[in-house]
Chain A
Amino acid sequence: MVDAAPETAVANGIAGPAYDEPPIIEVRDLNIGYGGKAALQGVDLDIYRHEIFGIIGPANSGKTSFLRALNRMDAFNTAMEVRGSIRLNGKDINDWRNVYALRSRIGVVFPLPVGLPLTVYENVAFSPRLRGIRKKAELDEVVERCLRRAALWDEVKDRLDSLGSLLSGGQQQRLTIARALSQEPELLLLDEFSIAVDPVTTMRIEDVLKELRSEMTIVLVTNLVQQARRLADRTAFFLMGELVEIGDTEDLFEGKVTDQRTTGYIEGRFG
C-alpha cells in the first residue's frame, strides 16, 4: 500500500499523503449494526496523514455509518452498535477517557446542514471558545479565516449577527464547513457535502479542500464519483455494507480493479 504520492499533488506543489508514516486511522474488522441489522461488515483499512480519502458507493452501502463510527457518534444513538477496532494515531478511540477531546480533533460535515440557532459569528466561534480562546481579536480572525475558506465570507460578512439557523440551505452547508474548520481538526470527515450547494460553490470548496490537505487528513464520502476522482488520492468502494475495493483513485478509474463491480459502479451501470 506504500505507493508514491499521486502526480497531481506533486504537480500542485502541495505535500502529498504521508504514506511512509504510520497511518492516522487504522480500522480493523469493523462491524456496524442498527438494532441487530448489519450496516457494515468486516472492514479493514488504513488512512494516511495528509491524504484525501474518498469513499464512494450507492445509498445504504454503509458509508455514513463508517463516518459516524470514526467520531464515536454511536454514543448518540443507542440502536447503533460498533464492533471491531478503530485506532486514531495508534490509540483505540474507545480508550479515550474523554470522548469530547476526541471529537474536538475531528471535524464533521453532514449532508443535511445544521446551522446552530446562534449567530453566524457564534456558530464559527463555538469551537474556538470551547478551546478557551477568549480574545475578541483572535476570535474575529478565526471566524473570518474559516468563513473565507468555506466560500461564505462575502455573503455573510455584513450579517454576522443574524441567526445561522435561518441561512439558506447552501449557506448553512458552508457554515457547517466553516465550523468544522474552526476546530482546526486533524481529521475532517465530509459526507456528501455538495448536496445542498450549487456547482460553482462546490468547485470553490473543492479547491479549498485540496489546499487543506497540507494541514489535515480528509475523508470524503461522496455520491458523485467524479468528485472522488477530482479530489481523492485513494478511493474505497463500499457496496451493501461491504468494502469491495480500495486503491489509488486513478487506478480505479482506469479500470485497474480487482472486482468488476467497482468498474460497473464507476461507469454508472448501477448505483
Chain B
Amino acid sequence: MAWYVDRAAQVFVFVGGISAIVFIAGIFVFITKEGLDFVLGPLSLGEFFTSIEWRPTSNNPTYGALALIVGTASVTGFAMLLSVPLSLGAALFIAEFATGKTRETLKILVEMLAAIPSVVWGFVGMSIMHPLIIRVFDVPLGLGVLNAGLILGLMAAPIMTTIAEDALKAVPDTYREAAEALGATRWEVIVKVVVPASRNGLLAAVLLGVGRGFGETMAVLMASGHAINLPTSVFDSVRALTATIAAELGDTVQGGNHWGSLFTLGILLFIVTFVINLTADIVVRGIRKK
C-alpha cells in the first residue's frame, strides 16, 4: 500500500517537474502559432529590421521594427550605464564591507526595490520624473530615454545586486584570509582576489539585468513617451518592442496581420531573452564546475 502511494506521489511530482518545460515550450508554441501566418505572409525581414516605418494600421501597412529595436536598445543601454556600476558597487559594499544590521537593512531595502510593481514605476516616471526632468533640464518633454532609462536602471538593479552579491559570497573566505595574511588590505583583496574569482558570476548578474531591462513592459510604456523615433539625445521619446505590444494588442483583430505582427515581436523578444538567459546559465555553470 505504502509502496503504491509512493509510486503515485513520484508520478505526481514528476509531472510537476516537467510542467516548467511544458510551459516554456507552450509559450513558444502558442506565440509562434499566432505569429506564423504573419511571418510566412506579409513579413519581409529586410523591412522588419531596417525600416523605421511601423504603420500596421495604415491602408498600406508597413512593419518596420527598427525604431522599436533601437528604442528598446537605447533605453536598456542607458539603464545599464546607470545600473551596472551602481549594482556592482552595491553588491561589493554589501558583500565585502557591510556587516550586521547595516547589511541586513541594505539587503531588505534592495528587496523592497525589487518588489515595487512595474506599473508603479511607470507611474513614478510619468508623475514624478517627467515634471522633474522638464524643470531640471529645461526641455519640453520629460518622457524619453532618460526617464525610462533611469526607471529601468533602478528596476534592473536589485536582480543584478542580488546575483552579484551571491557570486561574491561564493568566493571562499579562505582566499580572503590567505591574501590578508600576506598583508593585503581589504581593497587589494577585492581587486586582486575576490573580483577575479567571481568574474563569471558578476557577468551573469549583468546579463540577467540586461534581460530584465530588455523585457520590461509597463514602466517603459509609460515613461518612454512611446513615440516612434530614432533618438538623437537622451531627452527624445522612443518606443520599445514590449510597449508596442502592450499598447496595440487591445486594438487588433484576432488572426489579422496587425495581430500577427505583434506576436512576431513577441517571438523576437522570446528568442532574445532565451539566448540571454541561456548564456547567463552557461556562464554560471562555468563557475560551479571550477
Contacts and interface: CB of A to CB of B under 8 A. Distances in A.
A and B touch in the complex (CB under 8 A): yes
Interface of A: 98, 100-101, 130
A130 B2 CA distance: 9
Interface residues of B, number: 3
Nearest to A101: B3
Contacts of B3: 98, 100-101
Interface of B: 2-3, 6
Contacts, number: 6
A94 B3 CA distance: 16
Contacts of A130: 2
**Interface residues of B: mostly helix, strand, loop or mixed?**
helix
A101 B2 CA distance: 10
B193 to A, nearest CB: 31
Nearest to B1: A132
B9 to A, nearest CB: 13
Contacts of A98: 3
A105 to B, nearest CB: 14
Nearest to A104: B2
6 contacts: A98-B3, A100-B2, A100-B3, A100-B6, A101-B3, A130-B2
Contacts of B6: 100
A18 B2 CA distance: 34
A130 B6 CA distance: 13
B10 to A, nearest CB: 13
A56 B2 CA distance: 37
B275 to A, nearest CB: 32
A98 B7 CA distance: 11
Contacts of B2: 100, 130
A98 B2 CA distance: 10
A126 to B, nearest CB: 13
B282 to A, nearest CB: 24
A101 B3 CA distance: 9
A130 B1 CA distance: 11
B246 to A, nearest CB: 47
Contacts of A100: 2-3, 6
B234 to A, nearest CB: 55
B158 to A, nearest CB: 33
A100 B1 CA distance: 12
Contacts of A101: 3
A120 B3 CA distance: 26
A203 B43 CA distance: 86
Nearest to A130: B2
A266 B234 CA distance: 84
A98 B6 CA distance: 11
A98 B3 CA distance: 7
A191 B2 CA distance: 29
Closest 6 CB pairs of A and B: A98-B3, A100-B3, A100-B2, A130-B2, A100-B6, A101-B3
A100 B6 CA distance: 10
A101 B6 CA distance: 13
B129 to A, nearest CB: 51
Nearest to A98: B3
B137 to A, nearest CB: 60
B50 to A, nearest CB: 53
A217 to B, nearest CB: 25
A99 to B, nearest CB: 9
B77 to A, nearest CB: 45
B187 to A, nearest CB: 41
A67 B6 CA distance: 26
A158 to B, nearest CB: 33
A98 B5 CA distance: 13
B194 to A, nearest CB: 31
A100 B3 CA distance: 8
